[in-house]
Amino acid sequence: MEVLEEDGKVRLLLSGDLDIATFEKLTRALGEVEAREPGLIVLDLSNLDFIDSSGLRAIVAADAGARRDGHRVVVVEGPDAVRRVFRHTLLDKRLTLVEDADSIE
């Protein structure tokens, strides 16, 4: 996982699997990022291979945190295996999803 920070925007570039094994790591990283109170957190899943319900939980938590604290969380959709999960859970309607990081304003 890479954390890229610029102008109040923090981008978390995730890769590999986001599952119960990496959940803690992402949660911790998100906690640290949120503490810096950025205006925008980008969860970039484009390099992600797999996401399971634990991964979803982390993303949902990030989204919930954004609503609570008043910043934005944008999720860059990953490959089909990742999109599928958002579709099944209707999280695609809840989260701010974009196709690629460049399209974020």
Partner 1 sequence: MVGLIRSAEWSETPLGDISGWPRSLKDAIGVCLDSAFPSFVWWGEDLIQFYNDASLDILRTKHPEAFAKPAKEAWSEVWPEVGHLVEGVIETGRAVRGDDVAMDPERNGGPERAYFTFSYGPLRDGEGRVAGVYVTAIETTARVRAERELRRSEERLSLALRSGRMGDWSLDLATGEATRSPLHDRIFGYEEMLPEWTYEKFLGHIHPEDRERVSAAFERSRETGEDLEFECRIVRADGAVRWIWALGTIQRGTDRPRMFGLVNDITGRKNAEAEVRRSEERFRLLFEQATDAAFVHDLEGRFIQVNERACESLGYTREELLSMKVSDVEQNLVPGGFAELWTYISRTGLPKKVEGVHRRKDGSTFPVEVNVGRFEGGEGRAILALVRDLTGRKRAESEREAALERERRARRQISFLADASRRLASFLDLEESLERTARLVVPRVAEWCVVDVLEEDSHEHRLAVSFQREDESVEVLRQKRPDEEAPEPVREVIRSGEPRLVESVDEEHLRSIATSEEHLQRLRRFGLESYVITPLTARGRTFGTITFARNDPARRYDEESLSLLLNFSDRAALAIENSRLYGRQRHTAKVLQESLLPAEIPAVPGLEVAARFEPLGEGVEVGGDFYDLFEASEGRWSVVVGDVLGKGPEAASLTSLVRHTLRRDARAEESPSAVLGSLNAAMLEEDRDGKFCTVLHANVRPDSGGFELEFASGGHPLPIVLRDSGEAEEAGRHGTLLGVYDDPEFFDSKVRLEPGDTVVLYTDGVTEARRKGEIFGEERVVDAVAACAGRSAEGIAEHLEKKLREFSGGELEDDAAILVARVVEWDGIG
Residues that bind partner 1 (CB under 8 A): 20, 49-50, 52-54, 56-57, 60-61, 64, 81, 84-85, 87-91, 93-94
User: Is the CA virtual torsion 16, 29, 72, 63 positive or negative?
Assistant: positive
Nearer to partner 1, 9 or 89 (CB): 89
- In the chain, the N- to C-terminal Cα span, in Å, equals 23
Question: Distance between CA atoms of 25 and 102, rounded to whole angstroms?
Answer: 25
Least distance CB 11 / partner 1 (angstroms): 23
Least distance in angstroms from the C-beta of 50 to partner 1: 7
Least separation, in Å, of the C-beta of 98 and partner 1?
20
Element (H, E) at 50: strand 40-51
The nearer residue to partner 1, 8 or 16, going by C-beta atoms, is: 16
Q: How far is the CB of 5 from partner 1 (least distance, A)?
A: 25
Q: What is the DSSP letter of 35?
A: H
